[in-house]
Amino acid sequence: MRNRKDLTTEQQNPNSHQIDKRSIPEILTIINGEDQSIAGAINKVIPEIARAVELAVKTIRNGHRIFYVGAGTSGRLGVLDATEMPPTYSAPRDWFQGIIAGGREALVRSIEGAEDKPEDAIRDLKAAGVEAGDLVFGIASSSATPYVVAALEYGRSVGTSTVYMICNPKPLVPVEVDVLIAVDVGPEIITGSTRMKSGTATKMVLNMISTTTMIRIGKVYGNLMVDLQVVNNKLVDRGTRIIEQLTGLDYDEAQEYLYRAEGSVKTAIVMARKNCGLNKAKSFLEKNDGLLRRVIGDVE
């Protein structure tokens, strides 16, 4: 067992000293003040985050997959980010996958000791079919989680790219990876409670990486989610309004194009802008790597 006393996330935070003696508004103000420091800490590692995005884009474009691997809060946040990609960007479900120590049950309740079983990480990655060309993205606030370290080492051994996100200045357990994202969030408000500042930082960084990856592979035009596949009334409305904005059609006409495009917003836009049928619109997109701007140019 490694002594974690020198980890920043295990230090006592002087700003929350005697927090149990504070009033409710004072406690909330302390928490809010500490949370405001997180964006600044992330800003310092944007070059490393950018390198992770480059690997993620390369992975997807080459027909491979991204695996978030973590335990506890880190694992749950990885699963959350992966789960949100298909409904948000119509991304195939296998592009981003979350693997958590302890399996699916660990998503809703703590599985004590799961993070301390490195052999389980290797088993879980094998079961997921991790292979050369994939990207293994390890998440461990403490930088010392055996399950995550083993996953990264296994990924590297089979030829995957590897990214390691931690919330300390440097790893307690050294591991060779392609990109290390070390977000130094400082001591937690409640000593060692990494579900707080570390969890917030993790959510923010994963959002940045997955969103930027989707932008780079053509899922966004301007700041609009054009690669939207409508599956409910809310998305029908949103998709219709996007088509309306980029084509000059009125709302009813835009919605008719959406239905003719089988619920694909991007395809409907091409059909309207190019005055073509469904198959021709799909062909335009396929020839341009799914990048709408290449097909229709700039729309004011």
**Which of 34, 115, 188, 244 is the catalytic position?**
115
pLDDT in tens, 208-225: 999 999 999 999 999 999
Question: Does 34 participate in catalysis according to the annotation?
Answer: no
Asked which of 108-122, 166-180, 252-266 is least confident by mean pLDDT, the reply is 108-122
**Which of 10, 48, 54, 84 is the catalytic position?**
84
Asked which of 194-198, 225-229, 237-241, 254-258 is least confident by mean pLDDT, the reply is 225-229
What domains does the chain contain, in order, with CATH numbers?
Answer: 8-216 (3.40.50.10490), 233-296 (1.10.8.1080)
* 3 state DSSP class of 204: helix
Q: Given the structure tokens 């693997």, which residue do they identify?
A: 99
**Position 1 pLDDT exceeds 60:** no
Q: Given the structure tokens 């935070």, which residue do they identify?
A: 13
Angle 130-79-63 (CA atoms, 0-180°, nearest 5)?
A: 40
pLDDT in tens, 17-43: 888 899 999 999 999 999 999 999 999
* 3 state DSSP class of 186: coil
**Position 227 pLDDT exceeds 80:** yes
How far apart are the C-alpha atoms of 184 and 180, rounded to whole Å? 12
Question: Does 115 participate in catalysis according to the annotation?
Answer: yes
Asked which of 81-90, 103-112, 115-124 is least confident by mean pLDDT, the reply is 103-112
**Position 141 pLDDT exceeds 60:** yes
Q: Given the structure tokens 């083993």, which residue do they identify?
A: 150
CA-nearest of 200, 184, 204, 206 to 9 is 184
Find the mean pLDDT for residues 144-152.
93
pLDDT score of 5: 65
Q: What's the whole-number average pLDDT of the chain?
A: 92
The percentage of residues in the chain with a pLDDT greater than 90, rounded to a whole number, is 75
Residues with Cβ < 8 Å from 111, sequence gap 6 or more?
101, 102, 103, 105
Q: Given the structure tokens 């029908």, which residue do they identify?
A: 236
Q: What is the pTM assigned to this prediction?
A: 0.90
